Amino acid sequence: MTHPTIKLPTLIAHRGYSAAAPENTLTAVRAAHQAGTTWVELDVQLLGDGTPVIWHDSDVSRCSDGSGLLATMTWPQAQQLDAGSWFGDAFAGEKMASLEAMLALLNELKMGVNLEIKVNKGRDPIALVDTVLPMVLNSLPAERLIISSFDADALSRCRHFAAKETLAIGVLFGSTPKNWRAQCEAVEAFSIHSHWPRLKRTQADAMKRDGYQILCYTPNDPSAFESRWTWGIASAITDEPVAFQRFLDNRRQR
């Protein structure tokens, strides 16, 4: 039994091309595509009325002109928000994206997605997964999908929906915990997504020996990250895919 055949890209645009457009929006994904990036990382969670949306925080104050918790918001209320002006006038009128609209865009652009199941404090991982997984599995081919989360309960629930050969699961770590291997084995993980400054070389070596792909979040300075490529890191999940690509192209020419 093997994992889906996923050709991991060197660069994954974090929350879309979030250095150039408001994070986690349709525009940020289009910007990543226009910049030549083939995969994006996005966060998904539920509104209070159960609508799955692409959003990172537990509330809307940082990334919109409104305030309030997602957990108490309905879809019509969320659509009243301007989720673009906070980033720049050029993005005024941008809406919070539904998962449904985002999946349609990813298919239109034939992009891959590392979809992070974002379980914010006090939220129910099971309700989130039970809503999101059927939609995603119906919409995207296994070759263009990784489901990731910091939340072990969410990942276990994901595994109930699809076996190892049809769904790649990524386990997110801040610092690598002592039981990282058990956590990965419990969900038959495809990949480990590590906070890059806290990942040690010896840990990366052990992860690779065990057959895991390693993705690192969120390096934004390509020269600071340069040595990590020699560790066998598969992908960098970055806000700055264009700067990273330019750096890698220049390095190749040297």
Residues engaged in binding Mg ion (CB under 5 A): 43, 116
Q: How far is the CB of 216 from ligand G3P (least distance, A)?
A: 9
For residue 164, the partner it binds in Mg ion, ligand G3P, none, with Cβ less than 5 to 8 A by kind, is none
Nearer to ligand G3P by Cβ, of 121 and 254: the residue is 121
Which ranges of the chain does DSSP label H, i.e. alpha helix? 26-34, 75-79, 99-109, 125-139, 152-161, 180-186, 201-209, 222-225, 241-253
Cβ proximity to ligand G3P: between 121 and 209 the closer is: 121
- In the bound state with ligand G3P, the residue whose beta carbon lies nearer, of 119 and 133, is 119
Residue nearest to ligand G3P (CB): 217
Angstrom distance (rounded) from CA 103 to CA 78? 19
Per-residue burial over 165-197, b if 16 or more Cβ lie within 10 Å, else e, is: eebbbbbbbeebeeebbebbeebbbbbbbbebe
Tokens representing residue 122 in the block: 């006090």
What residues contact residue 239 under an 8 Å CB cut-off, 6+ apart? 13, 14, 15, 17, 18, 19, 218, 220
Q: List, in order, residues 6 or more apart from 80 with CB less than 8 Å away.
A: 66
Residue 41 or 151 with smaller CB distance to ligand G3P: 41
Minimal distance, residue 65 CB to Mg ion, in Å: 22
Q: Which is nearer to ligand G3P, 57 or 77 (CB)?
A: 57
Task: Kindly list the residues in this chain that would bind ligand G3P in the complex (CB under 6 A).
Answer: 14, 41, 43, 56, 116, 148, 172, 193, 217-218, 237
The partner in contact with residue 217, picked from ligand G3P, Mg ion, none with C-beta cut-offs of 5 to 8 angstroms by kind, is: ligand G3P
Closest approach of ligand G3P to the CB of residue 76, in Å: 26
Minimum CB separation of residue 43 from Mg ion in Å reads: 4
